[in-house]
Structures are given as structure tokens and as C-alpha cells.
Amino acid sequence: GMGRPLLLLLTAGQVSDYNGARQLLERLPRAKELLADRGYDADWFRDGLKDKGILPCIPPRKNRKNPPSFDETLYKQRHRIENMFVRIKDWRRIATRYDRCTHTFFSAILIAATCCYYLD
């Protein structure tokens, strides 16, 4: 997606990245690679990506006994993902979590993402 959001999911603040990954795994669009941070390092997630033909580029957690390898050069492109979040948070109502209702807040995120990335 060249740093553009392709699939968004809003979870509660205390929810683990594993739960979000589990919900998104089946909906992922076709891609060559998936860049993610250590929070997504799980064997079942890596296997699920490989089953879909997607190369996982996820650094291993520090406590792994047999850490899987990942492409460090490719992982440096992850800044595009972080930049996407920063760009969406330029919208004050999102950065301050102005909306109390989850569906209203998520709608604001979708509108911001659309305006920032798809209406240029």
C-alpha cells in the first residue's frame, strides 16, 4: 500500500496485538510482504501469512529461544506505517480522542484516512 492504510481495525486500548492480528488475518489483501513490529511476533501469525503467500517481516521478541530471521533492510520501510498514523493524528479530533463513541471515533479515522490518502 506504499504507506497507505488498506485495512483498519479499532480495538480497545487494553487488547493485545494478537487479537487484532487474528481478526485481520483472513481479510488481508494480496501482498508480497507484511511489515509489523514485535507485538505481532507469533508462530501462528507467521504461518498464517505464509499460507496466504505473504512474507512476514517481523522482528522476533527478545525472549525467543529460536528467533526467526527477518529482512532488516526491508523492515526500515516500516517508518511509512508510523508516518501514516502521524498524518491521521494531524486531525485534532483523532489525536485527542474527541469522540466518546467507538463507532463515531472510528468513522472520524476513516474520514481522515480517506482525505489524507485517497482524495489527493
Number of domains in the chain: 1
Asked, for residue 77, whether it belongs to a domain, the answer is: no
Give the span between the Cα atoms of 73 and 92, in whole angstroms.
Answer: 33
pLDDT in the model for residue 98: 86
Asked, for residue 47, whether it belongs to a domain, the answer is: yes
Beta bridge partners of 34: 56
Confidence of residue 18 (pLDDT cuts 50, 70, 90): confident
Asked, for residue 116, whether it belongs to a domain, the answer is: no
pLDDT tens, residue by residue, 34-87: 999 998 999 999 999 999 999 999 999 999 999 999 999 999 999 988 999 999
**Helix residue ranges, H only, the chain:** 17-25, 43-51, 72-75, 79-88, 92-95, 102-117
Asked, for residue 16, whether it belongs to a domain, the answer is: yes
Domain that holds residue 46: 12-70
User: Contact, 24 vs 15, CB < 8 A?
Assistant: no
Asked, for residue 85, whether it belongs to a domain, the answer is: no
User: Contact, 8 vs 110, CB < 8 A?
Assistant: yes
Which H or E element spans position 57? strand 55-57
